[in-house]
Amino acid sequence: MAGSRRHPADDCRVVATPKPLLIRVQAGTTLHRVRKRVAVIGNSPTWRRGAAAVLAEAGFSIADCAALADWKRGRDGVAVILGAAADPALKDLSGFAGDHPHIPVVVVLREISLADYANAIRSGATAALGEDEPTEALVWVVQAALQDRVSVPLTVMQSMAARIPAAPDADAWIVPHEAEWLRGLAAGTTVAGLAESAGYSERELFRMLHELYVRIGVGNRTEAIIWATRHGLLDDGSSEPPD
């Protein structure tokens, strides 16, 4: 296309080169500066030109590549936008992600259901969004990917939340006399004192408290008291573990 230029031995063309902008990217414990160059790959030339225009407006320099195989390490950018109109593109992505694990890849999909999003991530994508998202969303997702963050579509997050069961109330984990034990521990009562009040030997109560700790996912008395506090079981005003 007019105004573009080709690098020697390079199958990707620079189609948008705004005034060079630099960003700071965390790499281990060392901060370094890299050019905001992004490769736009796949789908139709019209789609690639549109994506390039949006990203160029945001200050990115764009390399237009017809396929992932055209991308060159160190030359065609710090991130990749892949227009994956069909499954074969995602199959190519699996190999690319394995060869270039540190290059963020944002996949633009025709559909953005939870299943489609998960399939893109499993294939090696860093993030994904739908073709019908606002153009600004593409910029947001790329900027997040360059900072090791992920911007997830709301519909995907809602689908994920709907599939994860809500945490049960404390009543589903413990019975009333166990709640009384936790309140006693929070008030400073010893295990021996609890055992005497409950009619058990100290050894028996130690065993039952251990079973309770395992059930609620804590490792010791202090963590059990914190758990009880978070679940509103310390109705006597005790909220801090005793010294």
What are the tens digits of pLDDT across the range 62-105? 887 878 888 877 666 778 888 875 565 677 788 888 888 888 89
What's residue 185's pLDDT? Answer: 93
Rounded CA separation 9/16 (Å): 19
202 in the same domain as 101: no
Split at pLDDT 50, 70, 90, the class of 61 is confident
What's residue 88's pLDDT? Answer: 59
What's residue 87's pLDDT? Answer: 61
- Greater pLDDT, 20 or 57: 57
Q: Is residue 240 part of a domain?
A: no
216 in the same domain as 100: no
Identify the domain containing residue 212 by its residue range.
170-230
pLDDT tens per residue, range 158-173: 888 888 766 667 777 8
Q: Is residue 108 part of a domain?
A: yes
219 in the same domain as 131: no
Name the domain boundary from 142, 163, 184. Answer: 163
35 in the same domain as 83: yes
Distance of CA 175 to the CA centre of its chain: 36
Domain count, the chain: 2
- Cβ neighbours of residue 50 under 8 Å, at least 6 residues apart? none
Split at pLDDT 50, 70, 90, the class of 209 is very high
Joined tokens for residue 189: 């009562």
206 in the same domain as 147: no
83 in the same domain as 196: no
CATH number at residue 42: 3.40.50.2300
pLDDT, averaged across the chain: 78
Which amino acid is present at 235? D
- pTM of this prediction exceeds 0.75: no
